[in-house]
Structure 1
Amino acid sequence: MAKRSTRKKPAAARPGMIRRGLKWLLRGALGLAAFVVLLVLLFTVVNPPTTIYMMQESRRLDGITRDWANWQEIAPVMARSVVAAEDANFCLHWGFDMGAIRAAIDEGGNRGASTLSQQVVKNVFLWQGRNYTRKAAEALITPVVELVWTKQRILEVYLNVVEFDEGIFGVKAAAAHYFAVEPDQITAVQAARLAAILPDPKGRDAKNPTASLRKRSASILDGAETIRRDGRSACFEP
Structure 2
Amino acid sequence: MLKKVFIASTLVIIGLFTSLLFYPNISKLKYENPQKTSFMKYREKEWLKEGKKYKIQQKWIKLSKVSPYLIKAVLISEDDKFWKHEGFDYDAIKKAIEKDIKAKKFKVGGSTISQQVTKNLYLSPSKNPIRKLIEFILTWRLERTLTKKRILEIYLNIAEWGDKGIFGIEMAAQHYYGKHAYDLNPEESARLAAVLPNPRIYNPLSNSKYVINRSNLIYSIMLKRGIIAPEYDNIITNEEQSEESNIEQLDNIPETPNDSESIKEQPQ
Common topology (TM > 0.5): yes
Give the TM-score category using the shorter length: 0.7 to 0.9
Is 1:117 equivalent to 2:117 in the alignment?
no
The equivalent residue for 2:162 is: 165
The equivalent residue for 1:35 is: 23
How many residues are matched? 214
Aligned equivalent of 1:129: 126
Partner secondary structure for residue 161 of structure 2: strand
Alignment pair present for 1:96 and 2:118 = no
Instruction: Give 2:257's aligned residue.
Output: none
Give the CA deviation at 1:198: 0.8
TM-score (norm 1): 0.79
1:49, CA displacement in angstroms? 0.6
Aligned equivalents of 1:20, 1:199: Cα separation in 2: 40
Q: CA deviation at 1:183?
A: 0.6
User: Cα deviations across residues 96-145 of structure 1 (Å, max 9, x unaligned)?
Assistant: 11122222334445683111111111111212121122211111111111
CA deviations 1:160-210 (Å, max 9, x no partner) are 111010111000110011111001011111111111111111111112231
**CA distance, structure 1, for counterparts of residue 148 and residue 224 of structure 2:** 19
RMSD: 2.7
- Structure 2 match to 1:146: 143
**3-state SS of paired residue (1:46):** coil
Greater alpha carbon shift after TM alignment, 206-215 vs 26-35: 26-35
Amino acid at match of 1:56: Y
Distance in 1 separating the partners of 2:174 and 2:200: 17
Residue 31 of structure 1, CA deviation: 4.2
* 1:85–1:223 CA contact under 8 A, matched in 2: no
TM, length-normalised to structure 2: 0.71
Q: Which amino acid aligns with 1:35?
A: Y
Say if 2:35 is the partner of 1:49: yes
Give the gaps of 5 or more residues in structure 1: 1-10, 230-238
Max radius of gyration: which structure?
1
Alignment of 1:1-238 (within 5 A): 30-36=18-24, 38=25, 40-59=26-45, 60=47, 61-62=52-53, 63-108=55-100, 112-166=109-163, 167-226=165-224
* Residue equivalent to 2:266: none
Provide the identity percentage: 30
Partner of 1:8: none
